[in-house]
């Protein structure tokens, strides 16, 4: 394949996602003040170590910070987060991105919701026969892409956003398959996809990319607008 400026941007979108994910894994779900207290600034890949939690305003709903800042007892590879504890290990978010990209590459074109569900079904089935029952990726895929989830994907109007509440890694691909069209990209993959779509424009700037993400966040169906009013439900 001949490398072009567009190729470089597509490659950069995928690699940038993976690198950013890996950089943030050690501090995932930490309040920014706790990050500063424990690490100062994160400027390199770090091992997944126990996190300093608590003593700051509630940040992530899945973490009960409590009133006193303290380190976790331990932190290990998790099927629903990092699959490794070594520096530079990305999380399940990058796995979502790669699955979405592989699905598009597999069919060689824009795919339908049903095709995406079929691709994921075959992916899970392959892991079931090639990986042991305690394999982290097999555990993750089986838990995430169960029957109800696959059914929701197969019948969704916008396939990459069908699991919007539990997936995040499809947004890069949603932008790549909708170059220059942030609105359609956002419907397929969420606010970040809108930013990727705009980033593919030859005249893209940081301000135009950030603006596309912000516009999509406040206007996407199923989200809550700045005034707090409910918008249309996800279709």
pLDDT score of 202 more than 60: yes
pLDDT score of 229 more than 70: no
Reported as a pLDDT band with limits 50, 70 and 90, residue 109 is confident
pLDDT score of 8 more than 90: no
What's the confidence (pLDDT) of residue 220? 62
What's the confidence (pLDDT) of residue 2? 58
**Arithmetic mean of pLDDT, 127-138:** 92
**Arithmetic mean of pLDDT, 35-59:** 86
pLDDT tens, position by position, 135-146: 888 988 898 888
What's the confidence (pLDDT) of residue 56? 79
Which residues sit opposite 52 in a β-bridge?
A: 71
Instruction: State pTM to two decimals.
Output: 0.75
pLDDT score of 38 more than 60: yes
Quick check: 76 and 63 in contact, CB under 8 A? Answer: no
Quick check: 209 and 195 in contact, CB under 8 A? Answer: yes
CA-wise closest residue to 136 among 50, 94, 72, 76? 76
3 against 91, higher pLDDT: 91
What's the confidence (pLDDT) of residue 169? 60
pLDDT score of 62 more than 80: no
| Helices 182-189 & 191-199 angle (0-180, nearest 10) | 140
What's the confidence (pLDDT) of residue 160? 65
Among the ranges given (30-34, 114-118, 206-210), the one the predictor scored with the smallest mean pLDDT: 30-34
Reported as a pLDDT band with limits 50, 70 and 90, residue 158 is low
Among the ranges given (41-55, 79-93, 166-180), the one the predictor scored with the smallest mean pLDDT: 166-180
What's the confidence (pLDDT) of residue 123? 95
Cα 45 to Cα 42: distance, rounded to the nearest angstrom = 8
Among the ranges given (12-26, 65-79, 214-228), the one the predictor scored with the smallest mean pLDDT: 214-228
């Amino acid at each position: 394949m001949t490398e072009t400026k567009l190729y470089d941007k597509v490659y950069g979108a995928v690699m940038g996602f993976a690198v950013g994910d890996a950089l943030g894994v050690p501090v995932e779900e930490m309040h920014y003040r706790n990050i500063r207290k424990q690490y100062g600034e994160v400027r390199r890949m770090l091992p997944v170590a126990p996190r300093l939690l608590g003593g700051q305003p509630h940040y992530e709903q899945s973490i009960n910070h409590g009133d006193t800042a303290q380190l976790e007892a331990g932190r290990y590879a998790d099927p629903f987060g990092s699959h490794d504890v070594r520096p530079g290990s990305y999380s399940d978010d990058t796995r979502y991105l790669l699955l979405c990209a592989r699905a598009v590459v597999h069919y060689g074109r824009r795919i339908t919701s049903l095709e995406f569900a079929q691709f994921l079904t075959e992916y899970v089935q392959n892991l079931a026969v090639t990986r042991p029952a305690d394999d982290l990726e097999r555990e993750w895929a089986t838990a995430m892409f169960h029957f109800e989830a696959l059914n929701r994907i197969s019948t969704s109007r916008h396939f990459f956003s069908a699991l919007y509440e539990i997936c995040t890694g499809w947004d890069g691909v949603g932008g790549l398959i909708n170059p220059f069209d942030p609105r359609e990209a956002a419907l397929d993959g969420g606010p970040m996809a809108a930013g990727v779509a705009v980033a593919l424009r030859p005249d893209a700037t940081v301000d135009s990319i950030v603006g596309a993400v912000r516009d999509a966040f406040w206007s996407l169906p199923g989200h809550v607008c700045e005034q707090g009013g409910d918008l249309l439900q996800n279709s």
